Copies of this chain bind each other. A is one copy, B any other.
Amino acid sequence: MSRALLTAGDLAGTFVFAVEGGLTAARAGLDVLGILVLAFATALGGGMVRDVLLGAVPPLALQDWRYATTAFGGGALVMLLSGPLGHVPVTPLLILDAAGLALFTVTGAGKALSLKATALAAMLLGAITGAGGGTIRDVLLARVPLVLRADVYAVAALSGAGALLLARRLGASAVLAASVGAAVCFGLRTLAVLFHWKLPGILPQP
């Protein structure tokens, strides 16, 4: 995956997750600084986990000023807009989260491939990178993370990373493969959100 494409995907994912993390923080009643911190952790957590697991340290998110600026900028945008916007409904938040999931899944898998990871490692790293930021956000808010309780979340990430790998294997360019992977992940997760796909539990709840 070319460096420029990776950076573009990373920064887009950073912005999307920063806005989403900031809005979630606002809904949870955090003050303005808490909003900035949660925007930062949600936006940069996934990429930092990816870089640590790949041994690419210090993580890009800490070295390249564009990452922190984008993350804090997304958080600041939330503070500017949420006053006029008033109450934030949950569905747009879930769609934003799906976009961040798709972008980071693709950059996670792509960076793993460019560092010579195996196909399996690239697929799992894609899913971990994608789900990482949102999981850190929910853990910091002392909530069970989306990746455990949401319909078709980890499966969307694994499918997106798998589609990227398949496209690359079939000879697609890095840009095309990344686009296919992101579309599969975002599409699956968004459909699950919009149509409230529900999977059965195993045990009857008390």
Contact = CB atoms under 8 A, between A and B. Distances in A.
Nearest to A118: B63
A139 interface: yes
Contacts of A148: 25, 30, 34, 37-38, 140-141
Query: Is the contact region of chain A dominated by helix, strand, or loop, or is it mixed?
Result: helix
B120 A65 contact: yes
A198 B31 CA distance: 8
Nearest to A87: B203
A54 interface: yes
Interface stretch (A149-157, A168-176, A177-185): A149-157
A154 B33 contact: yes
A34 B149 contact: yes
B201 A153 contact: no
A199 B34 CA distance: 9
Nearest to A82: B202
A1 interface: no
Stoichiometry (number of copies): 3
Interface in A145-166: 145, 147-149, 151-155
Contacts of A59: 53
Interface string A62-99: 11010010000000001100110011100000000000
Given A33-B152, A53-B62, 5 more contacts: A30-B148, A31-B199, A31-B201, A33-B153, A62-B121
Interface of A: 25-38, 48, 52-55, 57-59, 62-63, 65, 68, 78-79, 82-83, 86-88, 112, 117-118, 120-121, 124-125, 135, 139-145, 147-149, 151-155, 198-203, 205
